[in-house]
Amino acid sequence: MTTTERTSGSSTAGTALALACVAHFLVVFDTSVITVALPSMRAELGFTPSGLQWVVNGYTLAFAGLLLFGGRLADIYGHRRVFLGGLAVFTAASLLGGLATTPAMLIAARAGQGAGAAVLAPLAVTLLTTSFPEGPRRTRALTISTAVALVGGAAGNLLGGVFTELLSWRSVLLVNVPIGIPVLFFAARVLARPSDTPWGRVRLDLPGAVLATTGLTLLTFGVSQTHEHNWGHASVALPLVGGLLALIVFVVVEARFAASPLIPPRLFALPGIAWGNLAMLLAGASQVPVWFFLTLTMQHVLGYSAAEAGLGFVPHAVVMLVVGLRLVPWLMRRVQARVLIAAGAAIGALGFWWQSRITPDSAYLDGVLGPAVLISIGGGLVGTPLARTVTSGVEPLDAGAASGLMNTTRQFGGAFGLAVLLTVTASGTTGSAATMAGHYGDAFTGIALIMLAIAVLTPVLPATRDGGLRPG
CATH no. for residue 182?
1.20.1250.20
- Quick check: helix, strand or coil at residue 231? coil
Residues constituting the chain = 472
- At 256, the amino acid letter reads R
107 and 168 within one domain: yes
Question: Which residue range forms the structural domain that includes residue 282?
Answer: 266-472
- Averaged pLDDT of the chain: 79
> 71 and 218: one domain?
no
Q: Does residue 98 share a domain with residue 1?
A: yes
Does residue 163 share a domain with residue 96? yes
pLDDT for residue 426 is more than 90: no
Residues 191 and 239 in one domain: no
- Determine contact, residues 225/260, Cβ cutoff 8 Å: no
Strand pairing report for 468-470 and 463-465: antiparallel
Span 137-156, pLDDT tens digits: 777 777 777 777 777 776 77
| Pair 211, 194 in one domain | no
Percent residues over pLDDT 70 in the chain: 86
Do 130 and 221 share a domain, yes or no?
no
10 Å CB burial of residue 442 (0-12, 13-18, 19+) is middle
Residue type, 290: V
Q: Model pTM? A: 0.74
Amino acid at 185: F
* Domain termination site, one of 201, 219, 235: 201
Among 315, 288, 307, which Cα is nearest to 160's?
A: 307
Confidence of residue 453 (pLDDT cuts 50, 70, 90): very high
Task: Name the CA dihedral angle for 150, 156, 161, 164, rounded to a multiple of 10 degrees.
Answer: 170
Q: Identify the domain boundary among 218, 240, 259.
A: 259
- Whether residues 81 and 20 share a domain: the answer is yes
Number of structural domains the chain divides into: 3
**Does 222 lie in the same domain as 150?**
no
The predicted pLDDT at position 472 comes to 38
Lowest mean pLDDT among 65-74, 116-125, 167-176: 65-74
Total Cβ atoms within 10 A of residue 434: 11
Q: What are the tens digits of pLDDT across the range 345-393?
A: 999 999 999 999 999 988 888 888 999 999 989 988 888 888 878 877 7
Residues 315 and 444 in one domain: yes
User: Highest mean pLDDT: which of 93-102, 217-226, 324-333?
Assistant: 93-102
Per-residue model confidence (pLDDT) at position 49: 57
pLDDT tens-digit map of 227-258: 677 888 888 889 999 989 998 998 888 777 76
CB 267 within 8 A of CB 402: yes
Q: Give 190-193's long-range contacts (Cβ < 8 A, gap of 24+).
A: 190/12, 190/15, 190/19, 191/9, 191/15, 191/19, 191/79, 191/80, 191/83, 191/84, 192/4, 192/5, 192/8, 192/9, 192/12, 192/79, 192/80, 193/5, 193/80
3-state SS assignment for residue 72: helix
Residue 79 reports pLDDT greater than 90? no
* Cα(60)–Cα(116) distance, integer angstroms: 12
Q: Are residues 449 and 351 located together in one domain of the fold? A: yes
Strand partners of residue 464? 469
Q: How far is it, in rounded angstroms, from Cα 261 to Cα 119?
A: 18
Indicate if 454 and 331 belong to the same structural domain: yes
